[in-house]
Amino acid sequence: MPRSPLPAGTVAGAPTASSAVSAADDEQAVRNADRLLDSAIGSRSVADLDGLLDAEFSWITTSGILQSRVSILAAPPTPAIAVGGDVADADARRLGSHIVVVQRHADKTHAMRVWVRRSAGWRVLHVTEVTEGERVVYGGTMIGAADCMNPCKVVPFVPANPIERSVIEAWQAQQSGPEQWARHIPDDNVARTSNGTYTKADRIAVQLQQVQAGTIVAPSPLISARIWEFGDSALMIALQPRTVGKPFWGSRVFELRDGTWVMAESYQTTIRDMPPF
């Protein structure tokens, strides 16, 4: 997998000059950029969009359609959540030194925009949207004596560098059982999926019920993935089947916290027009 370059002067895994800029300043700068993105989408201005979208931009719609930068510029989409009022109400938080995630929520529809710091300024790298359907409870990791080769032990992914390797290994670890899952899922993680929204506490409760009932649960294997890493944070987009139901896109933002890669944000969008694998 090709590596996404870090901003000029950045050493992977090391503190950067941007550390001197507060998270609040970066979050406000991205809110401003996000406001411009809303305006460009609303006016369908290809020129304005072109200046805001990262070169490797992608957009996953609520129906699970993955659109590239080229297709977005050819036909600007309509966001799943119509923007109105004060854009500052959008939730923005910096993860690591070079990613700011902007989220909006409207009833059961959710949208996440992943902005990254480039040498030319903030650019939006990825947008993912999801609308909750029927709730299907899942604890998020392997339970019991399930056979978990992929993704627990092997995945069809070759890391391009040590950071990508650390991220994918951390993700594999969280798939391997409740103890490792809890270590790699921070308390502030909220999973937003086509099958419902779950806090960490929600999923721990499900895991306990599954363990007590002797349930055997295998996590969804990995079909393909790509990772963009930025030293102390990373974006992973993965294609996975479900044991029951249709496959989904997983959009996950990781952050290095106290030496451990944790999954800070997680969206899972079902591919609506794809039959179950």
Same domain, 171 and 104: no
Q: pLDDT tens-digit profile of 94-103?
A: 999 999 999 9
DSSP-assigned beta bridge partners for residue 95 = 99
In a domain, 122, yes or no: yes
- Supply the DSSP string of 104-135, one letter for each residue: EEETTEEEEEEEEEETTEEEEEEEEEEE--S-
Question: What's the pLDDT at 20?
Answer: 61
- Asked whether the beta carbons of 56 and 125 are under 8 A apart, the reply is yes
Structure tokens at 236: 């992973």
- Pick 15 or 185 by higher pLDDT: 185
Domain range for residue 243? 162-270
Structure tokens at 192: 């937003």
Name the helix (H) or strand (E) containing 250. strand 248-257
Q: What is the CATH number of the domain that holds 21?
A: 3.10.450.50
Structure tokens at 152: 């627990």
Question: What's the pLDDT at 274?
Answer: 85
Question: What's the pLDDT at 14?
Answer: 36
In a domain, 218, yes or no: yes
Q: pLDDT tens-digit profile of 57-66?
A: 999 999 999 9
* Mean pLDDT, residues 107-123 taken together: 97
- pTM, rounded to two decimals: 0.90
Question: What's the pLDDT at 6?
Answer: 41
In a domain, 187, yes or no: yes
How many domains, the chain?
A: 2
Question: What's the pLDDT at 89?
Answer: 62
* Mean pLDDT, residues 193-215 taken together: 93
Sort residue 65 into left (φ over 0), alpha (ψ -120 to 50) or beta: beta
Same domain, 25 and 126: yes
Whether 86 shows a pLDDT value over 90: the answer reads no
Question: What's the pLDDT at 5?
Answer: 43
In a domain, 264, yes or no: yes
Question: What's the pLDDT at 80?
Answer: 95
The values of phi and psi at residue 126, to 5°, are -155, 140
Whether 209 shows a pLDDT value over 80: the answer reads yes
In a domain, 150, yes or no: no
- Residue 276 binned pLDDT confidence (cut-offs 50, 70, 90): confident
| Rounded Cα gap, residues 48 and 95, in angstroms | 26
- What rounded mean pLDDT belongs to the chain? 90
* Mean pLDDT, residues 137-159 taken together: 92
Q: In the 3-class helix/strand/coil scheme, how is 4-66 assigned residue by residue? A: CCCCCCCCCCCCCHHHHCCHHHHHHHHHHHHHHHHHHHHHCCHHHHHHHEEEEEEEECCCCCE
Q: Write down the residue that tokens 């249709």 correspond to.
A: 246
| Rounded Cα gap, residues 19 and 23, in angstroms | 9
